[in-house]
């Protein structure tokens, strides 16, 4: 029994280590005007980037992004980073993404992943899902789900990664 538990823990640690140094995939996404771009090129090299994956039907996603947006100016005075969102809405719902982003006054980059290609590349199942990409273009943090105040955890992680 101890060997099984130990093996399981070792496997989880190995997976966590892999996730923390994962290269960015070159999977194609679209900006809200429909222009195709590779994900690894959408993330600015040499700068921390917080990426929030969301959907128009996901209430916790929209709340997380609203809370981040409300704190973004203050956070950027303390940590130099970029923020972007990527909708995982299907191709029939992507038109609502641009309308929603505009109605919320989003000024940060917003992309769509209408066929879930990037979602599959990053191997996550549910939104909200957030990642932090370091200055070397590697995924160094991942978080799934959202509870009120969870955005502060993301900011604390950004502060520790700010070099």
Question: What is residue 79's DSSP assignment?
Answer: S
b (16+ CB within 10 A) / e for 26-35? ebebbebeee
The pLDDT tens digits for 89-147 are 998 898 899 999 999 999 999 999 999 999 999 999 999 999 999 999 999 999 999 99
The answer on pLDDT for 8 being more than 90 is no
Pairing of strands 22-23, 36-38: unpaired
User: What are the tokens at 116?
Assistant: 């879930």
Domains of the chain: 23-161 (3.40.30.10)
Question: What's the pLDDT band for 163 if we cut at 50, 70, 90?
Answer: confident
Report the DSSP beta bridge partners of residue 114.
none
The answer on pLDDT for 82 being more than 60 is yes
Contact 41, 160 (CB under 8 A): no
Q: Give the pLDDT confidence score for residue 91 in this predicted structure.
A: 87
């Amino acid at each position: 029994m101890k060997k099984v538990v130990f093996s399981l823990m070792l496997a989880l640690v190995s997976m966590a280590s892999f996730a923390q140094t994962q290269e960015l995939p070159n999977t194609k996404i679209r900006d809200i005007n429909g222009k195709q771009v590779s994900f690894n090129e959408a993330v600015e090299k040499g700068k921390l980037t917080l990426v929030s994956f969301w959907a128009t039907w996901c209430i916790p996603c929209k709340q997380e992004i609203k809370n981040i947006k409300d704190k973004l100016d203050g956070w950027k005075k303390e940590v130099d980073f970029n923020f972007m969102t990527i909708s995982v809405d299907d191709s029939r719902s992507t038109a609502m993404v641009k309308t929603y982003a505009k109605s919320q006054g989003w000024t940060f980059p917003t992309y769509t992943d209408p066929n879930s290609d990037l979602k599959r590349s990053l191997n996550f199942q549910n939104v909200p899902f957030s990642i932090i990409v370091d200055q070397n273009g590697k995924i160094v943090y991942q978080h799934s789900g959202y509870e009120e105040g969870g955005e502060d955890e993301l900011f604390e992680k950004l502060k520790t990664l700010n070099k």
